[in-house]
Amino acid sequence: MAEDEDGLYRFLEKRNVPASLIDKMKEDKIDKDVVKMMSDVNLARYLPSHGDRIALMNYCISMGKSSDKRKKDLLVRLQKKLKLRREKAVQDQNQRKKNRATNVTNLRNLFFPNGVSMIGAISDFSFEIRDFRQEVLEDGMSVGRLYGETKLPLLKFYLATKYKVNDEEDDIVEVQTADKSDVQQDVQSADEIPLPEPFTFCESEVEVESIPTAVWDVSFTEQANDGEISSWSSRIISFRSEHNMNDCRLESEILDDTVPYEVDNASTSEEKMIMRLHRASILTEMIDYFMDEAIMEKSLDINIINNKGKEEKAVGVGVVKDAITEFWEKNYDDFTTGVNCKIPYLRHDMTDRKWTAVGRILVKGWFYCRYFPVMLCPSFLEHIIFDEVFSDVSENFFNYIPQIEKDTICKALKDFPSGTEFEELLDILANYNCRVCPTASNLRGILKEIADEELLQEPRFVSDCWREVCRPLRAEFHDVGAINACFKSLTITNKKVLKSLQFPETVSESYMEVKKYLKRFFSELSIDYLRKFSRFCTDGLHVRFVTFESDFAQRPIAHTCGNILELPCYDNYPQFRSQFLSILKSDVWDVDIV
């Protein structure tokens, strides 16, 4: 700015303007910008000569144009620099896109650093890239093509790993299925056939009983498969009981998740698996045990460590029932979604081997004590066992969603809403990724598609893991409606509990009052508390009245193996109800009746 003023004053000196007039302009701070805004009359006060005024005005205008030109030049240079930066950024972005295409092949290095991960070496697995439907991607499939086919705004891909088939196993199969002509040659190399190692399981704070190595007696005859053991027979899967159940007469009435237990004498010859479980981590520990397929051919002996770190005194059948029941109760909370109808939820820490172990627990529980997780969706189980669905998927979906959403949808099916009610319907459908605007004509079709997606397609990975494991259940549920009939019979109600109660023929007058208290209590009890009660008191429930020496020890006692409930004498119904509810509300169950 100072240089521009000096140039202005030098220009006036060259035109021989008196120094006094120039000094006056300096005092009044007259520069080129001020000159542009001055009129000829005002400028005449400083420059009396008309020619000097015209020359000065022209000089200031020309100086302004040169300044604008300089600014434009700076702007052009700045734009060129920004253009170069954008071109470089686009080039880098294109490079990153190329890297994305190669990152898929580097996933193995990401999950198997140095060729090893927590599940094994990279050489023990085969790898596949699967899409959001858990289907293997075809060779040459592009991301753009998938976007075009699925019409989804976001795609997810998964790296699937599978154990490679051992060549030695194939060799063993060939020996077992060899023709008679090849037997003589195979006998010479029979000693070289690798025998299975004894079962071992390594886990902190988990003990496994030592099992002697099985001795194979192999004989070659012309009869095919005479010595082959039929897989999944009920004898193989049944448990050995150390309790005599003949003392207790069991009724056929079924409560909740169990049916009468029948002792299989043939199971006494089976190998025994000793399982040491902690109540705080019974979910993960049972999954670890059942990851070994050999457990399906063994009887179970379970020791439970309570939350205080002490081993519970109970042994036998009741402990196994309790462990299976608690496993599924925690499984509902941690591994499933839904309200009254549960669907397995995919988790990053649940591999295919762990989901297969959960399926084995389901099968083992059914063949042992007829325990079945009735909270699982019938359509989901039918799809696993029969490879097709017989029940109404939409009806199961209504049991899957919360009651408030069910009421809104049912109301919309009868009378299609508008205004705020229509917005509520849109919010509910948006929770299940619905992108179609509902109308009175297409609402049922939308709900059917959502139900199929939530109940069958989302848990497809789990159903694939369970399908082969649950195949023996097909013979159990041979009828089309067998699963629904099973669910109906296993669902507990107040009426079923009251009908299952069996009292002594002759009791005193005081115990007659306790009998009335018990019936009244079960008539008022909610379904949730009935389920908790049926965990230890199931089948034909025998009620016995007992007397305790101390009032402090007075409490109800359930004998799980014999289905016996012992009750003391109570003065009034509120006292009876308070003590019973305090037990049912407790989150700590300690089985200590041997």
Reduced DSSP (H G I as helix, E B as strand, rest coil) percent helix, strand, coil of the chain, to 5: 55, 10, 40
Q: How far apart are CA 343 and CA 362, in angstroms?
A: 14
Residue 176 tokens, joined: 């077992």
Would you state the pLDDT for residue 355?
A: 96
Q: How far apart are CA 221 and CA 577, in angstroms?
A: 69
Q: Which residues pair with 305 in a beta bridge?
A: 278, 311
The full set of domain ranges for the chain reads 2-84, 107-164, 374-490, 494-585
Would you state the pLDDT for residue 65?
A: 67
pLDDT in tens, 396-425: 999 999 999 999 999 999 999 888 899 999
Give residue 563's region: left, alpha or beta (phi > 0; psi -120 to 50).
left
Would you state the pLDDT for residue 265?
A: 43
Would you state the pLDDT for residue 256?
A: 43
pLDDT in tens, 184-225: 444 344 344 444 444 333 333 333 333 333 333 333 333 333
- The CB density around residue 329, as the number of other CB atoms within 10 Å, is 18
Q: How far apart are CA 579 and CA 519, in angstroms?
A: 15
The residue annotated as part of the active site, out of 434, 470, 561, 569, is 561
Query: Is there a catalytic annotation at residue 561?
Result: yes
For 99-221, strand residue ranges (E) read 116-117, 120-121, 125-130, 158-163
Burial classification of residue 284, based on how many CB atoms lie within 10 Å of its CB (0-12 exposed, 13-18 middle, 19 or more buried): middle
Q: How far apart are CA 102 and CA 315, in angstroms?
A: 57
Would you state the pLDDT for residue 408?
A: 94
Q: Looking at the whole model, is its pTM more than 0.85?
A: no
Would you state the pLDDT for residue 49?
A: 87
Alpha carbon separation from 251 to 229, 234, 257, 259 (Å, rounded): 34, 22, 15, 9
Q: Is the dihedral of CA 448, 449, 455, 456 positive or negative?
A: positive
Specify the CATH class of 494-585 in words.
Answer: alpha beta
Give me the residue label for tokens 């200031």. Answer: 60
Give me the residue label for tokens 């009920």. Answer: 234
Walk along the chain (594 residues) and give the pLDDT tens digit of each residue: 455 567 788 888 888 888 888 888 888 888 878 888 888 888 888 888 888 888 888 888 887 666 666 777 788 888 887 777 666 555 545 444 544 454 555 777 777 888 888 777 888 888 888 887 778 887 777 888 888 888 788 888 787 888 776 554 444 444 344 443 443 444 344 344 444 444 333 333 333 333 333 333 333 333 333 333 333 333 233 333 333 333 433 333 444 444 444 444 444 456 888 999 998 899 999 999 999 999 998 888 899 998 888 888 777 777 888 899 899 999 999 999 999 999 999 999 999 999 999 999 999 999 888 889 989 999 999 999 988 888 899 999 999 999 999 999 999 999 998 888 999 999 999 999 998 999 999 999 999 999 999 999 999 999 999 999 999 998 888 766 777 788 777 778 888 888 888 888 777 888 888 888 888 988 888 888 887 777 656 556 778 877 776 665 667 777 666 677 888 888 888 988 888 888 887 755 554 443
Q: Which is nearest to 354 in space by CA: 292, 287, 296, 286?
A: 287
Pairing between β-strand 564-567 and β-strand 557-559 as defined by DSSP bridges? antiparallel
